């Protein structure tokens, strides 16, 4: 952001923030957590940094005390994070759900009018309310919603049959309906693989939009979806959380994530301090009134590692690149601050492009268990510095040939993988160049010895 330049979304957030703070002050948790009245002090989003950050552990422990006494929760969402394992109960009330629906329908109507679209939308999703906040971050202006399950081979077959079936809703002109499909990247790649098989043309012919949520969608996964479901006009990557009403969308032009107007994003340095407009840090989000009322989250640490980057596509606003999960990324001191040792998402995308690496299957469900997926079998192990020994990062990968029998091919893969690892992380490149970290690259022909690259 240059000077005092502010975007239209920031202006809207500034208008909504004072009421958000006044509303939160009536909540016992925030009255105690802040230790003072903040309504007169926090008038714009730039002043939010004066308030403390709330973490997932606090949400899990004090969730009941974070409920507004003047709101009656009508929906309870249960979420267990894969990183912490602590169950979180999130409450939503009728007032905020109505505000969210109204806001999203208005946005969808404007976007569809701009594109000249008028057919009814039926939204199919593989996400449950318990798993991801009633898909608040995925459904956009749909007239109907259908839940799909892919937990067993039989459920996959039923989901494909639902997509192929005519007249799902008697009151909608079925031949004019357009289908919108949302789910986690792994669910979507499984379903797309099945839909691409002969005989399933009818199931995929109406899919016009695919929305990936709940996890990182790599470029290889996006290419797979585009290739296997060519009828889809768009594959959208949404950043969203089960805890937060609102998120961000990856821009098709600049590849950065631009945030919804109903949340306030901040990037806080890894070693603390004031939010930054450029650089690596932790992503902190604030839900705004009236879109979060029953149990609003003010300055919530999402647990995501991001890089704030300027973008002309969303001028005057904060845009980010997703790097990984803070709980899974080791950090060290360098250049006067704390930096990540490597960037898991970027490493995954570079490793996906190496042809000799093995990949995890799309699913263990028969008969698709032999279908190769996009997640490379790559594992990272970090050992911090001890005594005079520098930090050490060991990257181990599985390849599709026996390295000892083909030493020249093995040497080529080792060189390619090393270059890919360094290119994926400027922080690691600096550490290795300064001899502050040793980078070891290992390969094996045993695919069972290396798990898929963990990014969540």
Q: Residue 88: pLDDT band by 50, 70, 90 thresholds? A: confident
The answer, yes or no, to whether the previous bond of 367 is cis (omega within 30 of 0) is yes
Concatenate the DSSP letters of all residues of 237-269 into one string: EEE--SS-S--EEE-TTT--EEE-TTEEEEEE-
Residue 251, pLDDT score: 96
Q: Which long-range contacts (CB under 8 A, 24 or more apart) does 22-30 make?
A: 23/68, 23/289, 23/293, 23/296, 24/68, 24/296, 24/298, 26/68, 26/69, 26/70, 27/65, 27/66, 27/67, 27/68, 27/69, 27/296, 28/65, 28/69, 29/62, 29/65, 29/66, 30/66, 30/298
Task: Write the Ramachandran bin of 435: left for phi over 0, alpha for psi from -120 to 50, otherwise beta.
Answer: left
Q: What is the pLDDT of residues 54-64, one digit of tens each?
A: 999 999 899 99
Whether the per-residue pLDDT at 129 is higher than 60: the answer is no
240 with 247: CB under 8 angstroms? yes
| pLDDT at residue 134 in the model | 41
- For the ranges 26-40, 175-189, 363-377, the lowest mean pLDDT is seen at 363-377
Note the pLDDT tens digit of each residue in 421-447. Answer: 999 999 999 999 999 999 999 999 999
pLDDT grade for 368, boundaries at 50, 70 and 90: low
Is 276 or 455 the better-scoring residue by pLDDT? 276
Q: Where is mean pLDDT largest: 81-95, 104-118, 277-291? A: 277-291
Tell me the whole-structure pTM to 2 decimals. 0.92
Average pLDDT along the chain:
89
Look at residue 345 and tell me whether its pLDDT is greater than 90: yes
Residue 82's pLDDT is 44
pLDDT of amino acid 133? 45
pLDDT of 237 above 80: yes
| For residue 300, pLDDT beyond 50 | yes
Does 81 have pLDDT greater than 70? no
Question: Which among 116-120, 168-172, 329-333 has the top mean pLDDT?
Answer: 329-333
Q: What is the mean pLDDT of residues 62-80?
A: 88
pLDDT for res 176: 77
Structure confidence at residue 120 (pLDDT): 84
Determine the Cα–Cα distance for residues 48 and 354; give it in Å rounded to an integer. 44
Percent of the chain at pLDDT exceeding 90: 66
Instruction: Please state the rounded mean pLDDT for residues 297-317.
Output: 95
Report the alpha-carbon distance of residue 276 to residue 297 in Å, rounded.
20
Q: How far apart are CA 137 and CA 263, in angstroms?
A: 12
pLDDT of residue 214: 87
pLDDT bracket for residue 84 (50, 70, 90): low
Question: What pLDDT score does 452 carry?
Answer: 93
What angle do helix axes 344-352 and 219-228 make, rounded to 10 degrees? 50
């Amino acid at each position: 952001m240059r000077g005092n330049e502010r975007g239209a979304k920031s202006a809207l957030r500034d208008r909504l923030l004072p009421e958000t703070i006044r509303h939160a002050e009536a909540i016992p948790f925030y009255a105690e957590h802040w230790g003072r009245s903040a309504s007169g002090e926090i008038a714009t989003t730039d002043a939010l940094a004066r308030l403390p950050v709330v973490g997932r552990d606090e949400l899990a422990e004090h969730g009941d005390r974070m409920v507004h006494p003047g709101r009656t929760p009508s929906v309870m969402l249960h979420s267990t994070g894969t990183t912490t394992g602590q169950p979180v109960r999130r409450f939503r009330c009728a007032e905020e759900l109505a505000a969210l629906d109204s806001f999203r329908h208005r946005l969808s109507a404007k976007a569809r009018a701009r594109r000249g679209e008028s057919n009814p939308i039926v939204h199919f999703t593989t996400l449950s309310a318990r798993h991801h906040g009633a898909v608040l971050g995925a459904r956009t202006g749909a007239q109907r919603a259908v839940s799909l399950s892919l937990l067993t081979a039989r459920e996959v077959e039923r989901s494909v049959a639902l997509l192929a079936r005519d007249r799902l809703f008697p009151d909608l002109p079925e031949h004019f309906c357009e289908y919108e499909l949302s789910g986690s990247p792994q669910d979507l790649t499984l379903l797309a693989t099945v839909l691409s098989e002969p005989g399933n043309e009818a199931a995929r012919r109406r899919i016009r939009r695919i929305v990936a949520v709940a996890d990182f969608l790599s470029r290889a996964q996006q290419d797979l979806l585009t290739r296997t479901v060519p009828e889809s006009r768009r594959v959208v990557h949404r950043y969203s959380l089960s805890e937060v009403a609102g998120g961000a969308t990856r821009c098709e032009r600049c590849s950065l994530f631009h945030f919804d107007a109903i949340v306030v994003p901040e990037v806080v340095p890894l070693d603390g301090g004031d939010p930054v407009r450029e650089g690596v840090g932790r992503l902190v989000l604030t839900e705004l009134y009236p879109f979060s009322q029953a149990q609003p989250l003010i300055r919530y640490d999402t647990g995501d590692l991001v890089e704030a980057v300027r973008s002309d596509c969303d001028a005057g606003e904060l845009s980010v690149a997703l790097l990984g999960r803070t709980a899974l990324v080791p950090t060290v001191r360098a250049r006067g601050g704390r930096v990540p040792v490597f960037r898991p998402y970027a490493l995954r995308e570079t490793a996906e492009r190496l042809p000799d690496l093995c990949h995890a299957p799309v699913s263990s469900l028969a008969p698709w268990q032999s279908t190769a997926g996009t997640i490379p079998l790559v594992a990272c192990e970090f050992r911090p510095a001890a005594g005079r020994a520098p930090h050490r990062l060991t990257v181990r990968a599985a390849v599709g040939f026996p390295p000892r029998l083909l030493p020249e091919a093995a040497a080529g893969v080792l060189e390619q993988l090393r270059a890919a690892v360094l290119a994926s992380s400027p922080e690691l490149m600096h550490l290795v160049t300064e001899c502050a970290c040793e980078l070891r690259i290992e390969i094996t022909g045993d695919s069972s010895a290396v798990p898929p690259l963990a990014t969540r």
